[in-house]
Structure 1
Amino acid sequence: MFYRVALLTSTVLLVPIGYLLRFSQSGFPWLDDALGSVAYEMFWIVLVLAAFPKFSPLKVAIAVCLATCAIEFLQLWQPPFLQAIRATFPGRLVLGNTFSGSDFPPYFIGSFLGWVWVMWLRQRRDEG
């Protein structure tokens, strides 16, 4: 029970943390974007594992990383129906709107940190 509650709590906390990081005005837009991407990766990992707690955290982290990398490449394709979705705030948050190769390192880092976080939560569950 602790594990699932901790995952759900993490999910709820990562949403505002991700927004704060991505949309902060630190003076370093690349850093804001990178930190927001790290939180985005972690959010999806803990969300999937909250829904399916028996899934392998490593496989989920890899799948999330691959999916977000695929979404990044999808930004190179700009058909009208995708452009219409990207024109909305939720569409822009999920699909993005501009391809950037510099987004890949934060995806890898976020997936790794998400995996580490989940493994730490699992260890706490197993100790208690």
Structure 2
Amino acid sequence: MSKLTLTRILTIISIIVVIPMGLFSKQYTGFAQEWIHNNAGDIFYQIFWCLFVFLFMSTEFAANRIPIFIFFFGCLIEFTQAWHTPFLDLIRSHILGKLLLGTAFDWREFPTYAIGSFIGWLWLCLILSFSQINHDSSHG
């Protein structure tokens, strides 16, 4: 199996893991429940987008830049939550629109975007490392 194929398989598996974690973070009950409800979804949101973009640009060069782009993109989406136009409100009236665009601006979400982007970067580095190690061991 090629390194690129393995990288993409690991990325798809990661996306399959991250999506339910983000969705279920809103249902979590237990220790630090309030913090998890308010912040974990934003972290997983950033990780998801890092993985999604990496699926199409699976290089070390991209892995080091994607999280930065995703952080700023998340911040831009957050700023759009301060705008309530009929078009944006129509999109946000559906569950997918709420999940993708959010509903209300909150500056306290910027640190969670940074955390999520950083974890996303680490995740991409792990995928690349595992792919390289596996590729080297199968060819050595």
**For the superposition of Structure 1 and Structure 2, which TM-score range results when normalised by the shorter chain?**
over 0.9
Contact 2:8 2:55 in 1 (8 A): yes
Q: How far has the Cα of 1:25 moved from its partner? A: 4.1
Q: State the alpha-carbon separation in 2 of the partners of residues 52 and 23 from structure 1.
A: 33
Query: Is the aligned partner of 1:35 residue 2:46?
Result: no
Partner of 2:92: 86
Aligned partner of 1:4 in structure 2 is 8
C-alpha distance in 2 between matches for 1:22 and 1:111: 20
- Cα deviation for residue 125 of structure 1 reads 1.1
Secondary structure at 1:73 match in 2: helix
- CA drift of 1:47 comes to 0.8
Q: CA RMSD for the aligned pairs?
A: 1.4
Amino acid aligned to 2:114: F
- Give the number of aligned pairs: 128
Offset of 1:97 from its aligned partner?
A: 0.4
Give distance in 2, aligned partners of 1:97 and 1:24: 21
Whole-Å Cα distance in 1 between the matches of residues 83 and 58 of structure 2? 34
Letter in 2 for 1:41: Q
Which has the higher Rg, Structure 1 or Structure 2? 2
Q: Which runs of 4+ in 1 moved over 6 A?
A: none
Q: What is the rounded CA distance, in whole Å, between the counterparts of 2:66 and 2:75 in structure 1?
A: 14
Q: Which runs of 5+ in 2 are unaligned?
A: 135-140
Match of 2:122 among 109, 116, 120: 116
Alignment of 1:96-111 (within 5 A): 96-111=102-117
User: Secondary structure of the equivalent of 1:110?
Assistant: helix
Structure 1 residue 30, shift from structure 2 partner: 3.8
Task: Tell me how far apart the structure 2 counterparts of residues 46 and 52 of structure 1 sit (CA, whole Å).
Answer: 10
Which digits, 9 at most, give the CA deviation of each residue in 1:22-62, with x for residues without a partner? 33344743432211111111011001111221361121101
TM-score, length-scaled by structure 2:
0.85
Partner of 1:16: 20
